[in-house]
Amino acid sequence: VASAGPNTFAGEALDRAGPRRTDERWLAEALADPASRAVLAGPDGVLVVEDDGRVAPAEVPVAGLRPKEPVLLGVDSRGAVFAVELDERGGALAPDASVRGLREVAPSLSQADGGLLAHASALLHWHRRHRFCANCGARTVMGEAGHVRNCPVCGAQHHPRTDPVVIMLVHDGDRVLLGRQRAWPRGRYSALAGFVEPGESLEEAVAREVGEEAEVEVDDIRYRSSQPWPFPASLMLGFTARYVGGEPRTHDGELEDVRWVSRTELEAAAAGRGNLLLPPRDAIARRLVDEWLALSSRGPAPRG
C-alpha cells in the first residue's frame, strides 16, 4: 500500500540548513535581518494566531526580540526561522496571539506548520531540560545555533534527544489486538506501544512490548510509517505484526485492558458508531488502523 503522505507533526517545509549552524557570520546577519522570523513555544504550548478556525504560528520578527538563545530551525523562501523560548519574552509581543497546547491545535494547523511547531517545541523543550551538564553539573552553553549544548567545565557536548517508541498493530486474520490505558476517555482503544530500550532493534522492541503488555507472541513485523511526537521528545515508529500465539491479557499493569477487535467493530467505530472509540485522526495509531482496514477490505494478504 502506497504511503498517504507524512503524518501530523512531520512535513515541515523548511530547509534545516545544517551547514549554517556553525557559520557565525551568517547567523549574526540572519538574526539582524528584518525578514527573519521567530516561532515561540514554552512549557504550556506554542504561540499561535487564530483566524476563522485556522491556526498558524505567530510569526514575530526575530531582530526585535534579541533572544539570548535563538535556535535556528531552518530557512525558507521568506528567510530564516528561529525558535525562541516563550518564557524569555512573555506574550506581550504579539497582541492577537495566544499560547495553546500543540496537541490541541494540531488538527487546525497546516501540515507544514504542524511540522514546524513540533520541531520548535521539541528543541526548546530539550534546551529547557539541559541547562546543566549531565556529566559534571556545570551550567551548559548553547552552541551550533541551538543544536548542541557545551559544558565549559568538563568539555562534554550534549546533543538534542529523540526517544524512539514502537507502536504496532497486531493482526490475526480479521481481527486486531488493541489495548487501553486507564486514563484514556471511556471506550478509547489503541495500538500497543512502548519505548525502545538500549541495545535493542526495533523488531525486538515490537516483539518484547507485545509480550510484556499482552502476553502475545508475534512475527512478520513490518514497518509502516513514523511520526514525530514532541510530547516531549518521542519519535513514533509504526509497525504491523502478525499474531502467532498466546491468550491476550494485561500483564505488566501499563494497560487496563487488551482485547481482540473485529474488522466489523473497527469499521463501525471508524464511522462513528458503537462504543469503541478509535485514536484521533492525527495519531499514527489511527493511521495503522485505517491502513489495515483498507488493506484487509481488499481480501486477505498472501501468507508467507
Interface residue list for Zn ion (CB under 5 A): 133, 135-136, 138, 151, 153-154, 156
Report the nearest approach of Zn ion to the CB of residue 138 (Å): 5
Q: Which is nearer to Zn ion, 143 or 274 (CB)?
A: 143
Q: Which is nearer to Zn ion, 111 or 135 (CB)?
A: 135
Our measurement of the distance from residue 55's CA atom to the centroid of its chain's CA atoms, rounded to an integer in Å, reads 19
HEC-encoded secondary structure of the chain: CCCCCCCCCCCCCCECCHHHHHCHHHHHHHHHCCCCEEEEEECCEEEEEEECCEEEECCEEHHHHCCCCCEEEEEECCEEEEEEEHHHHCCCCCCCCEEECHHHHHHHCCHHHHHHHHHHHHHHHHHHHCCECCCCCCECEEEHHHCEEECCCCCCEECCCCEEEEEEEEEECCEEEEEECCCCCCCECECEEEECCCCCCHHHHHHHHHHHHHCCEEEEEEEEEEEEECCCCEEEEEEEEEEEECCCCCCCCCCCEEEEEEHHHHHHHHCCCCCCECCCCCCHHHHHHHHHHHHHCCCCCCCC
Report the nearest approach of Zn ion to the CB of residue 143 (Å): 13
Report the nearest approach of Zn ion to the CB of residue 141 (Å): 11
Report the nearest approach of Zn ion to the CB of residue 156 (Å): 5
Rounded-to-integer distance, Cα 168 and Cα 269, Å? 19
Report the nearest approach of Zn ion to the CB of residue 153 (Å): 5
Rounded-to-integer distance, Cα 148 and Cα 160, Å? 7
Q: Which is nearer to Zn ion, 36 or 140 (CB)?
A: 140
Q: Which is nearer to Zn ion, 132 or 260 (CB)?
A: 132
Q: Which is nearer to Zn ion, 136 or 294 (CB)?
A: 136
Cell of 245: 500465539
Report the nearest approach of Zn ion to the CB of residue 158 (Å): 9
Report the nearest approach of Zn ion to the CB of residue 154 (Å): 3
Q: Which is nearer to Zn ion, 156 or 233 (CB)?
A: 156
Q: Which is nearer to Zn ion, 126 or 229 (CB)?
A: 126
Q: Which is nearer to Zn ion, 149 or 175 (CB)?
A: 149
Q: At what angle do helices 284-296 and 263-270 cross, to 10 degrees?
A: 120
Report the nearest approach of Zn ion to the CB of residue 137 (Å): 7
